[in-house]
């Protein structure tokens, strides 16, 4: 079911509570799709970063090859924040008169700890990854951080697009760049990247059109991300969970939060199901799991559910991932 669903989408987001198997399911799905002949990019947005550990090789902010047809990268929120601040700082310093350099520095240092900075910086990188990735790959698989964080992230594109829109309108009304700077508040990430090439002495018109182009591109990215997230034909959000009380409750809550943000959840993956035939202890657990699954079906019974067995050992390294991918295919 999961592989079938992945097979006709361009973007998958895999979310759920901590430790339920998001990274494992994301990686195995990506591997299976690459082996089916698609060009796949596996992206981790989790600050804890376990793609490298899972694949037994370093994975960083640039795509590296994990298998034939499969690349991986890790987006690090802290690096994203630093990258944005240094780009923005450099660009603003170029744009502003020299005597305001101190103001720029103050603005930048306040921005670093502004509420929502990490999420917004990460979202900007996700938007950029979707923007570029859709050109270079057939499928993008996002392994997201545990629940609450992801739900907030999914609500952001709307806000960021609206914010950029508002900034553009204010800019149109205001005469100078100083007004824009004052309007930026703590939120000018990504502002700098394409301004870096600008030479001092450009005319105000050049400056205006550069700022406009930049804001336009930024708004385009967020609007596109919003469109992709809301388009069930191109994008699917999958919730992974264990058949236990808290993961079931959290998955129901995550589903509701995603619905509120206009993100359609396409399926549930219930991982680590206890076997029925491996002794009385696990058989009893399995019965208990059934009762939690009944609760899940009561609320989310309209969604397809794929179940995966608890394995005797952790899934680590390419051979174990290969076996897990085959399990995904077999249980479809
Ligand atoms: N079906 C399974 N059977 C046995 N072990 C599993 C199974 N699925 C995942 N694991 C193991 O469970 C642990 C957690 O899995 P994973 O890292 O994929 O979860 P996660 O949801 O990404 O966690 P986090 O929220 O910390 O990112 C790993 O050690 C993984 O190898
Ligand atoms: Mg993980």
Distances (CA, A) of 95 to 112, 180, 183, 281, 292: 20, 12, 16, 68, 58
| pLDDT at 13 (0 to 100) | 94
**DSSP code, position 262:** T
Name residue, tokens 């502002």: 191
d(CA 327, CA 332): 9
| pLDDT at 76 (0 to 100) | 83
> Residues near 38 by Cβ (< 8 Å), separated by ≥ 6?
69, 137, 138, 139
d(CA 121, CA 235): 22
Distance from residue 317's CA to the centre of ligand 2 (Å): 14
Count of other CB atoms within 10 angstroms of residue 179? 13
Nearest to 309 by CA among 328, 291, 287: 328
Count of other CB atoms within 10 angstroms of residue 73? 19
| pLDDT at 146 (0 to 100) | 73
Name residue, tokens 């657990």: 285
| pLDDT at 25 (0 to 100) | 97
d(CA 303, CA 13): 16
d(CA 191, CA 95): 12
| pLDDT at 178 (0 to 100) | 56
**DSSP code, position 144:** P
d(CA 146, CA 143): 10
| pLDDT at 109 (0 to 100) | 79
| pLDDT at 196 (0 to 100) | 40
Q: Which residues of the chain have pLDDT under 70?
A: 49, 87-88, 91-96, 147-149, 160, 163-165, 167-212, 214-215, 331-332
Q: Give the pocket of ligand 1 (CB within 6 Å).
A: 18-24, 46, 48, 50, 146, 271-272, 308, 310-311, 314-316
Distance from residue 154's CA to the centre of ligand 2 (Å): 18
Ligand 1: which residue has its CA nearest to atom 9? Answer: 21
Do the beta carbons of residue 131 and residue 217 sit within 8 Å?
no
Do the beta carbons of residue 89 and residue 105 sit within 8 Å?
yes
> Residues near 263 by Cβ (< 8 Å), separated by ≥ 6?
13, 154, 229, 230, 237
């Amino acid at each position: 079911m999961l592989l079938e669903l992945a097979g006709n989408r361009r973007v998958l987001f895999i979310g759920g509570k901590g430790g339920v198997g998001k990274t494992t399911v994301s990686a195995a799905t990506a591997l299976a799709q690459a082996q089916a002949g698609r060009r796949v990019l596996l992206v981790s947005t989790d600050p804890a970063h376990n793609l490298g550990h899972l694949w037994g090789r370093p994975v960083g902010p640039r795509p590296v090859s994990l298998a034939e047809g499969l690349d991986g990268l890790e987006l690090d929120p802290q690096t994203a924040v630093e990258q944005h601040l240094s780009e923005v700082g450099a660009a603003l310093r170029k744009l502003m008169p020299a005597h305001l350099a101190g103001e720029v520095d103050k603005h930048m240092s306040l921005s670093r700890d502004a509420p929502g900075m990490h999420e917004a910086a990460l979202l900007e990188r996700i938007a950029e990854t979707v923007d570029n990735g859709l050109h270079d790959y057939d499928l993008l698989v996002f392994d997201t951080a545990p629940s609450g964080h992801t739900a907030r992230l999914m609500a952001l594109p709307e806000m960021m697009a609206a914010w950029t829109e508002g900034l553009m309108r204010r800019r149109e009304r205001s005469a100078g760049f100083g007004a824009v700077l004052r309007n930026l508040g703590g939120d000018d990430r990504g502002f700098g990247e394409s301004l870096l090439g600008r030479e001092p002495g450009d005319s105000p018109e050049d400056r205006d059109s550069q700022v406009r182009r930049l804001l336009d591109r930024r708004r385009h990215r967020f609007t596109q991300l919003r469109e992709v997230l809301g388009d069930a034909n191109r994008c699917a959000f999958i919730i992974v969970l264990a058949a236990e009380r808290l993961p079931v409750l959290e998955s129901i809550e995550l589903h509701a939060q995603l619905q509120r943000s206009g993100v359609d959840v396409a399926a549930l993956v219930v991982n680590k199901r206890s076997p029925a035939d491996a002794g009385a202890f696990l058989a009893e657990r399995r019965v208990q799991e059934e009762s939690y699954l009944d609760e899940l079906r009561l609320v989310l019974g309209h969604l397809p559910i794929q179940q995966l067995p608890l394995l005797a050992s952790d899934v680590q390294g390419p051979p174990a991932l290969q076996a897990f991918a085959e399990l995904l295919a077999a249980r479809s």
